[in-house]
Amino acid sequence: MAQTLSEIKTLLAAHGLRPKHKFGQNFLHDGNHMRRIMDAADLQAGDVVLEVGPGTGALTERLLEVGAEVVAVEIDTDLEPVLTHRMAGLPDGQGDRFTLVVGDALAGKHTINPAVIEPTMARVASSGRESFKLIANLPYHVASPLMANLAVDHPAMSDAVVMIQKEVADRLEAKPGSKAYGPLGILIQTLCEVRTVGTLAPGCFWPPPKVASTVVHLKRRPQPLTDDPKAFSATLKTLFTKRRKQLGSILGRDTELPEGISHDTRPDALTVEQLIALAEMLGSDIK
Ligand code: SAM
């Protein structure tokens, strides 16, 4: 079952609603791209999914159709009756596998709301799983903090298949020397393998956003490249505020550096592995 553009419009109109810009409501109505998200998610019946921003439930219905247990968090209280009614009307009791949290996905600027994690982990426990997947067409303003927080603080998230702004996706995948290479992508790359699933034109959404979107798949590495992502993240932020300066000028010419890294190198020329070696050598010395 898929929600077409006219269905989405009818659903909202039936509740007297219009897409709300302040909540980043750009509804995906392109069935092919929806399928590509589902293919990348590779779900088995009983898998636990966290969906942030279900909107009218277009993606949610596909997740439930393949047997997933879905916890969704939606900030727009006006969408609660839309979602509740849609999910209750699904065949074969699919709606019984759906939990809706009405509220903000974030509690504070950088932390996922515990009211979202709690029912997600309860589903993980009750379904005998060890992990959950984040699958979502993310509201753009929460995408970066949400992914960073889930990757660092919630190791039970095994995968994220998310639609995000292309510019953020470029940062997640960025390689040394490129403009997009910086703390967010480097941190994520230490914890996850990052793959682009596809890029979508604004016309795939209603209303069309101003920017292109990309679906990325983050797959948690069996072993993270660093044991202390928080300390690493803090070091990265310090180094990258001076990304165009040489290490010698940021750290002092007397600072000992790992083999193969010279004082003339700039932070954004270092590979992820070199940055980890550098952060470990500096320890808490860096200010
Ligand atoms: N999943 C739908 C789809 O694919 O068409 C809608 C995606 S739309 C880009 C983003 C959704 O996230 C909207 O329903 C919006 O109300 C919701 N949203 C925005 N900010 C949020 C937040 N901080 N917490 C939870 N939901 C949020």
pLDDT tens per residue across all 287 residues of the chain: 578 999 999 999 999 999 999 999 999 999 999 999 999 999 999 999 999 999 999 999 999 999 999 999 999 999 999 999 999 999 999 999 999 999 999 998 899 999 999 999 999 999 999 999 999 999 989 999 999 999 999 999 999 999 999 999 999 999 999 999 999 999 999 999 999 999 999 999 999 999 999 999 999 999 999 999 999 999 999 999 988 899 999 999 999 999 999 999 999 999 999 999 999 999 876 76
Q: Whose CA is nearest to atom 18 of ligand 1?
A: 53
Q: Is 149 annotated as a binding residue?
A: no
Q: How far apart are CA 201 and CA 160, in angstroms?
A: 21
109-134 burial, b for 16+ CB within 10 Å, e for fewer? eeebbeebbebbbebbeeeebeebbb
Residue with the nearest Cα to atom 8 of ligand 1? 25
CA of 25 to the centre of ligand 1 (A): 6
Claim to verify: residue 257 and residue 165 sit in the same structural domain: no
Residue 24 near ligand 1, beta carbon < 6 Å: yes
Q: How many CB atoms lie under 10 A from the CB of residue 5?
A: 14
Shared domain check, 261 and 135: no
**In this structure, are 160 and 277 located in the same domain?**
no
Ligand 1 site, residue 268, Cβ cutoff 6 A: no
- 3-state DSSP call for residue 210? coil
Range of the domain at 188: 5-220
Ligand-binding site membership of 113 (annotated)? no
Same domain, 127 and 246: no
Cα(208) to centroid of ligand 1, in Å?
A: 14
Strand partners, 157: 132
**Ligand 1 binding pocket includes 64 (Cβ within 6 Å):** no
Q: Please tell me whether 108 is known to bind a ligand.
A: no
User: Can you give the pTM of this predicted structure?
Assistant: 0.96
> Domain boundary at 220, 239, 269, which?
220
What is the atom index within ligand 1 of the atom nearest the CA of 28? 5
Q: Are residues 207 and 255 in the same domain?
A: no
- Domain-ending residue, one of 170, 196, 220: 220
Rounded CA-CA distance 105/157 in Å is 15
The number of domains in the chain is: 2
| pLDDT, position 243 | 87
Please say which residue of 200, 220, 240 terminates a domain.
220
Examine the predicted complex and report whether its ipTM is higher than 0.90.
Answer: yes
